[in-house]
Structure 1
Amino acid sequence: MTASPTPRTTTAPEADWLRLDSQICFSLHAASRAFNGVYRVLLKDLGLTYPQYLVMLVLWEQGDLPVKRLGEHLRLDSGTLSPLVKRLEGAGLVRRERSTHDERSVQVQLTEEGSALRERALEVPRRILAATGFEPAEIGDLRARLDRLTTALDAAALEEAPEHH
């Protein structure tokens, strides 16, 4: 794997706007790939992929949820989420049940084994923090900035959507 380019700290002149190392999206992409590599190793012991881990995090935090709400938390559509939930069900970590109130709605529930896995997963965030070399306050600041970025980009995408023109 090649090292990512050294980030430029000064504002780039317009001629440099199309340089790879001037792209915030590439910096985020490279960081995401690096995170995935660390998570892959840490989650192997839990028998989870990173997307499955995210599903479990939401269920550990929120409890039983309809697939639709689970998808909203994870910013995933049901076509992407359903296979993840099916694999977790196959592993005995969750169970899916049709709602008795609405046949179209499927509720996702942790099994006893899925709930017990939470205890083993507690070590993952600690090891991720150590891998970053950041202090907890720096992680909090970075998360806040990324949340602001996400909100701004979501708003920009809505403005650019064809139905708004």
Structure 2
Amino acid sequence: MKLAFEDYISIFIHQTDLTLTSYVKSRLAPFNLAPEQNLIMMLLWQKDGLTQNEIAEKLNKDKTNIARMIFNLEQKGFIRRASREHDRRSLQVFLTEEGKELGNRVAAVAEEFNAQICEGITEQEFAQVRRILSKMCANLETGIADRSSHT
């Protein structure tokens, strides 16, 4: 093993993600909302009426997981699903009144969380983090494309 455990950037990113997710989970628990469910809700608070497929694409998640999370959110009374008029197989997801009201309460938690983790970080540093992480993703996508073209 050439690199030490702490030298792998992917491990550091993963540990950071676990820390952030754990904190978010504790803050969302009083709202009966899991962090991944919150991502769906955030998309709907931004634009109500997305299809399940659009949600899956925006979150880069497989459709089966999204369908399960949407079902759970529907059971909680936060959303409702409806078939689209011109395509009965495609389901649109809409906020219920309870879901809309939840957005008003969770928005404050999300803003506070974002402010806390970005404290002391300049806009330039934040832009640099986004650029670097985007490059890392692009490196993986390029590597995956290169490997699949050689098979």
When normalised by structure 1's length, the TM-score is 0.80
- Which residue in 2 is equivalent to 1:4? none
Structure 1 residue 143, shift from structure 2 partner: 3.0
Residue 87 of structure 2 corresponds to residue 78 of structure 1: no
- Which residue in 2 is equivalent to 1:151? 138
List runs of 5+ in structure 2 lacking aligned partners: none
Structure 1 residue 136, shift from structure 2 partner: 5.7
Q: Secondary structure at the match of 1:65?
A: coil
Q: Secondary structure at the match of 1:32?
A: helix
Moved more, 98-107 or 134-143: 134-143
Residue 132 of structure 2 corresponds to residue 142 of structure 1: no
* Residue 94 (structure 2) aligned to one of 109, 121, 128: 109
- Cα deviation, 1:101-160, whole Å, max 9, x if unaligned, reads 112211111111111211111222333231564436244442343233223322322222
Instruction: Check whether the contact 1:60–1:118 (CA below 8 A) recurs between aligned residues.
Output: yes
Q: Secondary structure at the match of 2:31?
A: coil
Structure 1 residue 82, shift from structure 2 partner: 0.7
Tell me which protein shows more helix as a share of its residues: 2
* Residue 87 (structure 1) aligned to one of 69, 72, 82: 72
Residue identity over aligned pairs, in percent, reads 25
- Which residue in 1 is equivalent to 2:39? 54
When normalised by structure 2's length, the TM-score is 0.87
Number of equivalences: 148
List runs of 5+ in structure 1 lacking aligned partners: 1-14
Query: Which protein has greater RCO, CA pairs closer than 8 Å, 6+ apart?
Result: 2
Following the alignment from structure 1 to structure 2, what is the Cα–Cα distance between the partners of residues 141 and 79?
Answer: 34
Aligned AA (2:132)? R
